[in-house]
Amino acid sequence: MARKDQSQEVYTLLVTVGRRDGDGLPDGWDGAALLCFASGRGEDEAVRETIAVLKTADLAPLEVESYGTLDERIAQGHEIGGEERALMDRALTDNAVIVAQTMPLEAGD
């Protein structure tokens, strides 16, 4: 991965969001699970930035689970494909939060 700043890392985060007026989530969803790639100088900063971005988008973050950096995920045995690596590169290059996938949460999930 190209490094914009050696102290920046990209973290894989799974964020659970609830419903909020104007959130843009489809009718029938009780919330969503968002797979995000977020850059930061540490995990805490990546989580804070992700929550701030999601709140700006009128989403209601409830819980954040971190899967760590690319190196940490590889050490855990995660298989990481080219598309996922490209999104991580983009998050690092743009110093951004990328929502890579949105999964519905329905009553009972």
Tell whether 3 is covered by a domain: no
Tell whether 68 is covered by a domain: yes
Note the pLDDT tens digit of each residue in 18-66: 999 989 999 999 999 999 999 999 999 999 999 999 999 999 999 999 9
Helix, strand, coil share (%) of the chain residues, nearest 5: 30, 35, 35
Q: How many domains does the chain have?
A: 1
Note the pLDDT tens digit of each residue in 80-91: 999 999 999 999
Task: Give the pLDDT of residue 106.
Answer: 80
Tokens 């939060």, residue located: 97
Q: What distances in angstroms separate CA 5 from CA 2, 14, 95, 108, one per listed residue?
A: 9, 24, 10, 43
For residues 84-100, one letter each, b for 16 or more C-beta atoms within 10 angstroms of the residue's C-beta and e for the rest, the string is beebbbbbbeeeebbbe
Tell whether 2 is covered by a domain: no
| Residue range(s) defining the domain that contains residue 31 | 9-105
